[in-house]
Structures are given as C-alpha cells and as structure tokens.
Structure 1
Amino acid sequence: MTGAPSESHAAYVALEREIGLLLRRSRAISARLARELHPDLDGAAYGLLALLEDAGPLRASDLVARLGLDKSTVSRQVASLVDLGLVDRAADPEDGRAQVLSPSAEGSARLSRIRSARRARWESDLAGWPADDVATLAALLGRLNRIGDAREAESKEPPPDR
C-alpha cells in the first residue's frame, strides 16, 4: 500500500485499538468480579459461572468448546468453583457416566447480585446515550460475536478429505 492509508484501513486500526482496550478492561473487570464472588476465585472462573447460569447445566467438555479454553484450565476452574460451593456436579441424565455442572443456589445468588450491580453500572455509564444507540451497540456486538463463533467452529472442523 503506497501513500496515505485509506479511510477504511484507518477505521480497522481504530476498531482494533478500541476492541483491545475493551478486552483489557473486561479481563480486569472479570478478575474483580471473581473476587467479589469469592476472594479465592480466579478471574476466568467468573465467565465460566456466568455461562453455566445462562446455558447450563453443561458438561465440562461443553464448557471447553464454548469458551475455547484448554481442558486443563476448565477442569481447574470447575474444581475451584465446586470446592468453593459455587457450582454443583450431578450425573448427566443422558449418560450416567458423565457429569453435568450447574451453579449452586449460592453461586446463582452471588452471581445475580454482581450482575445487577454490573447492569446498574452500564446504565449509569450509558445514561447519556439514546436507547436506540444502546440497542444498536448490543446488536452490533452480537453480530461480531456470531462471526467469532462461526470462525471458532470452522477452526475446529476436521480438514476435508483430499
């Protein structure tokens, strides 16, 4: 590319910068929220508990697939959540040899309190935004996440036979 970068290129550079900042803040917030759930909880475990609340009960293998994390990382986080009384294990009704995970009553209650406080913070931070802008932001982020989900699923497909 010669000369000045195109307007489109500059937009992608700005997008990368802003998403990077958002992700760094998100990791810091998740670590803080995890400590609010329990002082001994790892930051990544917050997202795992939230996923179980939203989509559970799930097997550990489902968590690995949905979160794109290493099996040993998920196993360690699940063990921590179970040990702290925030997640329960039960026999999988479809396969008694396997286990499914779901938030315990205590885990759900703690997560609900934190999510309420987090939503209140979003409402405060975006109070000056028109409701349509907030809805548009949510829709665009959802669209971006679906692209990421599709790309993640694509990367896990076996290569075609040649």
Structure 2
Amino acid sequence: MSYLNSTFGGVSADAFGIPGINRLALIEKSKITGYTGGDNVTAIAVTTGAKFQEIFFTEDSANYTQELTSSASAKYITQTLNFRVESDEIAKAHSVILGRQYVALVKKSNGKWVVLGQTNGLRCTAATANSTEDDATLSFTLTAKNLGYGSNVTMTDTALDALINVTATV
C-alpha cells in the first residue's frame, strides 16, 4: 500500500494537488476586437485569421501574480506573468521581446481559465537566456498595469481551443 493512497491523520491523496499553470497562450492586444461578459468572459473576438499562440513552457516554470498598486492618484492591478522555454527558439523569442502588448490566456491547474492583460496589455519587461547542466532556457517576465484582476474565462475548452494555435513554437 502506497503512503499517499492511505489515510494518515484524516488526510488522503485527494487532498494533494499540483499548483501552477497548465497552459499558456499569447496574442498581440491589437488583434483582440472585443470581450463578452465582463468579469466572466463568455466570448473573445479576434481579427480575422488571428489566433492566440500557445507557449510550450518548461515544466513548472509558468506562474502569474496580480497585485494591487495604489498611490494618492491611482489604483490598478499589476499583473506579472513568468515562464521559461527551451532556448532553441531564438527568433521566436525575439518576437516576444519586441512585441508591443499581449493578452494572455492562462489555464490554471484546477482547469479554470483566466485572461491577463485585458485592459492595458502585458509587455515583456525582462528576458534572460541561461544555461545549466540539465537544460538551457529563456526566461520571460511580462507585466501590465490593468484596471482590475484578470477576468475568469467561462468559455468551453472546445471554444478556447479554436482560438489557440497549438503549433509548437515559443
């Protein structure tokens, strides 16, 4: 009998979960033509032929935060998205670095989706190429000052998959 498959002090394997992000896709903000649903997005409209580009990040490297930033004259949510990809896609990495603003679709480990960069877009604020014994990667940080937390996306997985190009790339 496996330790995690047996109860121990009232805790079972069902109580454990893997945190983080399961999927990530980016699109240039200018290619979004509208959202339906406010805080619970039920549809995303894009320009003809445009799709979000799936980012195939290295395992356990993607995460995001949303933090209230407040001053005497303004309040906004600073959204930060981090991810690492393998370093063999330099040309495509340059397009992420040089891109103006992005919107990100993020699938959390609980299966729920959220959209980041919805109001002011995410910009690449840091990019690092590094090498280790195990793997060489490119690390990216995208940040945004948005007017609220990222909206929940309540579209079906089928509808979302239709918006995402899953061809392997950065």
TM-score, length of structure 2 as denominator length: 0.25
TM-score, length of structure 1 as denominator length: 0.26
Larger radius of gyration between Structure 1 and Structure 2: 1
Comparing both structures, which one devotes a greater share of its residues to helix?
1
Comparing both structures, which one devotes a greater share of its residues to strand?
2
